[in-house]
Amino acid sequence: MTKPWFKTRRYGWGWTPASIEGWVVVAVFLALTLSGTAIFLHALRAGASPPLACLLFVLWTAVLGGVLTAVAWAKGEPPRWRWGD
């Protein structure tokens, strides 16, 4: 197996970036989240329906979170609960 992009966290469940590729994935996730936030706020100021704008923003954020989790799962160490080693 090649070097994992994400390693398991020292405490709890989840991953943290372990290589430059992992950090790039996190940076892209943050950039897309911030751009979605900017679009959401612009749409609200332009008179969009608040419930629809909120729904689209939540869906956008959920999709991005799902993609980040899928990439970490595929390119990282196997997930497991840890109490520290």
Kindly state whether residue 33 falls inside one of the protein's structural domains: yes
Task: Centre a 10 Å sphere on the Cβ of residue 46 and count the other Cβ atoms it contains.
Answer: 8
**Domain total in the chain:** 1
Task: Indicate the SS3 state at residue 17.
Answer: strand
| DSSP at 77 | P
Spatial separation of the C-alpha atoms in residues 71 and 5, rounded to whole Å = 9
Place of tokens 């970036």: 17
Residue 25's domain comprises: 18-75
Kindly state whether residue 37 falls inside one of the protein's structural domains: yes
| DSSP at 2 | P
Kindly state whether residue 38 falls inside one of the protein's structural domains: yes
pTM over 0.85: yes
pLDDT tens, N- to C-terminus, the chain (85 residues):
589 999 998 888 889 999 999 999 999 999 999 999 999 999 999 999 999 999 999 999 999 999 999 999 999 998 888 786 6
Adjacent-strand bridge partners of 7: 16
